[in-house]
Structure 1
Amino acid sequence: MTSPIITVDRVTKNFTNPAGEQLPVLADVSLELREGEIVALLGKSGSGKSTLLRVIAGLVEPSAGTVHYRGAVVAEPNPGTAMVFQSFALLPWLTVRQNVELGLRADGVAAAARAERALRAIDMIGLDGFENAYPKELSGGMRQRVGFARALVVQPEVLLMDEPFSALDVLTADNLRGELIRLWDLPGFPTKSVLMVTHNIEEAVQLADRILVLDANPGRIKGEILVDIERPRDPRGRQVQQLVDKAYRLLTDAPSTPTVTGPTTEPLPRASVDGIAGMLELLAVHGGSADLAHLATELRFEVDDLLPLVDAAAMLNLASVHGGDIALTPEGHAFVDADIDKAKEIFARAACSSAPLVAAIDRALAGSPKQQLRDGFFLDVLRRGFTEDEARRQLRTAIDWGRYGELFDYDADERTLTRHTFGG
């Protein structure tokens, strides 16, 4: 075994909420990146994947723990890394060559050497002839090629990629994944290790030598999957499908039960009632159960599309998840088979018994003299456990669920929630 290029040692990262309280995003994360390997970070939304990538890049300081590059503590932008972003992050007023030269300019490389190295990188990534084009003249795939060239021109030992293919169409993304592997196999390719954030399980299995699965709220490493399959990998092959199933099992294994349950310890999944109902109806069409990997393929869903719906259905006890499979519960069958009024009643009962935030809102409104409260009351509670954006998203989801169940209504103009009885 070679010595690690990057060592992450018990890294924790907290952010501060408006009340000055610490919100954990990453908790006690340790990992190593070694020469000759591509590693994928896979996890649900809220698992801190992108934050971890930025901590490794030296762009975000950990609250506890350390990151080492070749044995030296990273206390500033990591000199051994370069990053490719999901959003391309190109400067629109610069040409392709000028965008590629940015990192070299920051390193103080002379103009003639900058131009030579930039043109070599542009050639390597397949953008010959577009050196003087501006980003607005390029397709999404070509812009991301510029992003790769800009990262590779500084010859990083470790290439960090934050969902680099997720903003692209399917065919373009497949093409660029193939280009990445082609470059990886080139003799003399300067990058010795790749760490990639993704929410696409098939992508992780296609590209990575190891997959690290992160748990969420806060992010911590939940498990590791070794991908010992020669490239190129057949996405329909038995070995690939077995690893995809294994990843789904790891992602959907229930985390340890929180010691204190409540709105800030059991967040509502990012799932609408329509999305939950649609998935349950699809399960009914499949006879009441389905393999999650096959379901995702059928729907063309990725982790962040499917798993919030799965988590929501499981939270509400309308579906159960075990070993990478999902099945309707008796309540789920009753929900799918019911008419609209009965379905609302079933959903309301499930939300009040199993969704902590919905239940907390219902109890608070019931205890209010007018059975009415402003949304700020609930946002103040949620801000103790979430960022401002996430607190507002949690409340929006709770309002969506509560309205459907006819537990309470929301007046956006007055910013008030009002409780009413079922059918009222």
Structure 2
Amino acid sequence: MSIFKIEGGHRLKGEIVPQGAKNEALQIICATLLTASEVTIHNIPDIRDVNKLIFILGELGVKIKKLDTNSYSFQADDINLEYLESLQFKKDGSSLRGSIMIVGPLLTRFGKGYIPRPGGDKIGRRRLDTHFEGFIKLGAKFRYNKEESFYGVEADELHGTEMLLDEASVTGTANILMAAVLAKGETIVYNAACEPYIQQLCKMLVSMGAVIDGIGSNRLIIQGVSNLGGCIHRVLPDMIEIGSWIGVAAMTRSALTIKNVSWKDLGLIPNVFRKLGIELQQIDDDIYIPSQESYEIQGYMDGSILTVSDAPWPGFTPDLLSIVLVVATQAKGSVLIHQKMFESRLFFVDKLIDMGAKVILCDPHRATVIGMNHESSLKATTMSSPDIRAGISLLIAALSAKGTSTIHNIDQIDRGYENIDERLRSIGARIERIESTF
């Protein structure tokens, strides 16, 4: 188990190229199971969660070629379905939440899809009902082994239908969408997630021969086809990582340029950081954050405290609320952070309080942050990363703190951020990865 040792309080400077989007890559890689033809994907992030999914596909029999660090080709023309019922798969699949998205492609192409209860972040309950209710409406039979926490769906043939999702689940929408593209007839999905990554999946499937209308809306219409072909696809830059780099710049009072961010796909992210008082400049497709000695939170027009809350796209992504909370600790003014979707995601604030931040945890979903306007620096400490987003937030806090901090359980950070320590050092951060002997 590795740890990060961070000497904080230093200003950074330079350019950062964001990695490929983790959440898109997990969907896109699963979609390669829909065809026997070769699919080439560029800009795949080299991170633990994505690499684990690629390993699972390899065990399934997918022919995988690594073309360079971030590009792969996949060909699923000789799938080993017996692996799905093996003890090894139950172990492999249970450690990665994204593995749930292999079920839709396998079900629609091979008539069966199995998955152990997937793991991932400990940020609260994330149920799978949306996925399996969608499969059942398409004609699949569902079974669940409670003793082994093992899910299965089977069908001789899937048939198009109308369905209203009980929640706008991103992974649920992706899974149902992939199942529907090879189902017989028309499928209409209401309350579909419409994040840029779902739009990217739709565009990829269309390039493979799928027929999908309503891309970018919450009503998707899919005309089933008999088979799909290959394609070449490029993954978008990761909007969550882009928001993380904005947080790094603000907390360390540094001037940074984030390259090629795909501004049109960032939604509310720039505006939310601007409401915290952070200056962002658009230069072509880059974000430039100048060095700021102070940034002031904007209140509402009636003088009440600003609230930043998460919501399905085009609302603000829940994955950036932890970073917004950390950034607010050194702002001028106060803000209420309202995490609606996950009941355990704010529990990392006790570590920030230990560092000297003024945060009041109101309940599992809400925290009030009283900014210190950089007048009182955070204090270095020893802490542990509970999940990907809290982990990067604590790392950002450590970069701004006076003294040397230690972060344990950094495997959680590596699940979502590619070579984060090397990239931070490239812009002047003093961070060291130490291999633990425990």
TM-score (norm: length of structure 2): 0.28
Q: Which has the larger radius of gyration?
A: 1
Higher relative contact order (CA 8 A, sep 6+): 2
Higher helix proportion: 1
- TM-score normalised by structure 1 residue count: 0.28
